Amino acid sequence: MDEPKRPIRVLVAEDSAVVARVLVDVLTSDPEIEVVGIARDGSEAITLTKSLTPDLITMDVRMPKVDGLVATRKIMEETPTPIVIVSASVNVQDMNITFEALRAGALDIIEKPRGVGHKDYEEVRGRLVRAVKLMSEIKVVRRWPEGKFRRPSRLPRAVLKRREEGRVVFIGCSTGGPAALEAILGRLPAHFAAPIVVVQHIAPGFIGGLVEWLSHVTPLKVKIAEVGETPAAGTVYFAGDAYHLVIDAGGRLALDDGPPERGHKPAIDRLLTTGASVWGGRCIGILLTGMGMDGVDGLREIRHAGGRTIAQDEKTSVIYGMPKEAVAAGVVDKVSALTDIGPELIALTA
């Protein structure tokens, strides 16, 4: 007879007693999750991680003494543990802390549940429980302290030669995507000779913060896509919440209110497939870290249309899910380490 499965042991880092109680209630509503401790600040989170060795930590960003970013960095340096950032704040400072925490090794962002009576409670509860179950299985690695190694410098801001009909870059990513995008976009020159259009799977309400954060790490213009825009070189366009981002027959950005695809809206496949139908061989499709299969069909369409396709490699992926599925499907021209993708884009668009 099989032994019962051990519960997922979670440490909750949250300074508000009320919110901590809600989080405990949400997590323990699932019999497969056990809350083993509550940390009231980042310093306590660091200490309890060492003594309790939880399977996962839910981390608030704004806490007294030591905030969620510093706590995440310290934990990933000393006691690597899967961390999910749980945040209700949309102000710029807290958003920056949140995305810096992802760069420091946190795996995902989930919005805070707002109590049983709130209209979105069940939906948010479900997202948090699913995230805890999925992220607890990820094998995280030790991160070196900030400053131990120099981050790669941006590539020179040279003026690149442009093709008569330039390339268009499409990127799809999920868990681990924000840090991967920072690594790629942060190394591209200001005069990068192609537009970049991105679908990032992320919890509702956080895409604006991601755009704001990335705008400080790349010389490119970064924005939420607007209906009717024609993608321009040197600009990065992100799909917003609630709609699929697509390319219309005239090569303009458009929104589609169709049903989710593979559970996602916006879906990577919708963007890549419509892009391939309009620009064909001019497309470069890139699939980065993340779970599931979204983007595989889109890469297939780009490849069939004569475009180029790239998948992030296993070693540099937080989750080697979508890229692995694309490679297995035979729709990838090249598998690349994260640090190589920026230079490859420059070569392909020069």
Enzyme catalytic residues = 174, 201, 294
Q: Are 318 and 176 in contact (CB under 8 A)?
A: yes
Q: Which residues contact 216 (CB under 8 A, 6 or more apart)?
A: 96
User: How far apart (Å, rounded) are the C-alpha atoms in residues 305 and 182?
Assistant: 29
User: How far apart (Å, rounded) are the C-alpha atoms in residues 222 and 6?
Assistant: 44
DSSP H helical segments within 136-206, as ranges? 177-185
Q: Are 344 and 310 in contact (CB under 8 A)?
A: yes
∠ Cα 13 16 18 (to 5°): 115
Q: Which residues contact 30 (CB under 8 A, 6 or more apart)?
A: 129, 133
User: How far apart (Å, rounded) are the C-alpha atoms in residues 226 and 237?
Assistant: 9
